């Protein structure tokens, strides 16, 4: 299972990278706005900075919602770095754009996916990644992890190559459940990744070892 970090915060990205377990980054317009990046040139430079930190794929989302606009933005985004994956929303124009980009050999991430039907369309269009938003489904009392299992099963039946990228992960348990469900990737906030480190028996066990180590000195 790959770990992506879901943020545009360079400090968090660097910290996850330093941990040695990071496979990529996802961003979205809200995350970019959160770190105060605005303006075409600044956005471009910010993506460049992210690509310098990580070794894997970096999803950069288009802001257009029409076919030509999406392709125009995709054209610009892919010149930033070869790690850039063009993130396109699950809308009719987006699906058409994903088909075109995929035929050109450009990697895409189909975002804002909330149903198995949408995930089938994304795969049929040739998306490299599909991003079901599990936390937002949980928020409205649907089982987000169940959707991941459903998509993994369907993709397995038909041999779709699109990778299932579990998004909108809110906590450590989400990561574990998505791993059990067979998600190819989990994109998570730093807190959910570092949350995997924690166990009270590790803390108490280490405290005891350190205490006993003093007796050895």
Which residues are part of the catalytic machinery?
Answer: 87
DSSP string of 87-146, one letter each residue: EEESSHHHHHHHHHHHHTT--EEEEEE-SHHHHHHHHHTT-SEEEEBHHHHHHTT--HHH
Only one of the segments 8-16, 45-53, 130-138, 207-215 lies at the binding site for ligand E4P (rule: CB under 6 A); that segment is: 130-138
Q: Is 135 in the site for ligand E4P (CB under 6 A)?
A: yes
Binding mask 1-40 for ligand E4P (x = CB under 6 A): -----x-------------------x-x------------
Rg value, the chain, Cα: 19
What is each CA distance from 209 to 38, 130, 198, in whole angstroms? 50, 45, 17
Among 136, 176, 182, 184, binds ligand E4P (CB under 6 A): 136
Q: Which of residues 88-127 bind ligand E4P (CB under 6 A)?
A: 111
Among 47, 164, 168, 183, binds ligand E4P (CB under 6 A): 168
Q: Which residues contact 174 (CB under 8 A, 6 or more apart)?
A: 134, 135, 144, 145, 166, 186, 188, 192
Q: Is 131 in the site for ligand E4P (CB under 6 A)?
A: yes
Among 133, 163, 164, 183, binds ligand E4P (CB under 6 A): 133
Taking the least distance from each CB to ligand E4P, the nearer of 28 and 149 is 28
Binding positions for ligand E4P, rule: CB under 6 A: 6, 26, 28, 111, 131, 133, 135-136, 167-168, 187
């Amino acid at each position: 299972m790959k770990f992506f970090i879901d943020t545009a915060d360079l400090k968090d990205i660097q910290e996850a990278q330093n941990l040695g377990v990071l496979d990529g980054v996802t961003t979205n317009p809200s995350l970019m706005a959160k770190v105060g990046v605005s303006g075409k040139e600044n956005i471009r430079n910010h993506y460049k900075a992210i690509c310098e930190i990580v070794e894997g794929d970096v999803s950069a989302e288009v802001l257009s919602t029409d076919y030509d606009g999406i392709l125009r933005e995709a054209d610009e985004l892919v010149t930033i770095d070869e790690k850039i994956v063009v993130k396109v929303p699950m809308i009719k124009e987006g699906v058409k754009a994903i088909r075109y980009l995929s035929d050109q050999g450009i990697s895409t991430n189909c975002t804002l996916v909330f149903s198995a039907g949408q995930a089938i369309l994304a795969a049929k269009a040739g998306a490299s990644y599909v991003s079901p938003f599990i936390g937002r489904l949980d928020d409205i009392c649907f089982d987000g992890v169940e959707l991941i299992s459903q998509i993994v099963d369907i993709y397995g039946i038909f041999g779709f190559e699109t990778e299932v990228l579990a998004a909108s992960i809110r906590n450590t348990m989400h990561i574990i459940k998505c791993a059990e469900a067979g998600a190819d990737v989990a994109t998570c906030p730093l807190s959910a990744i570092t949350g995997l480190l924690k166990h009270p028996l590790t803390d108490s066990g280490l405290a005891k070892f350190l205490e006993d180590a003093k007796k050895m000195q």
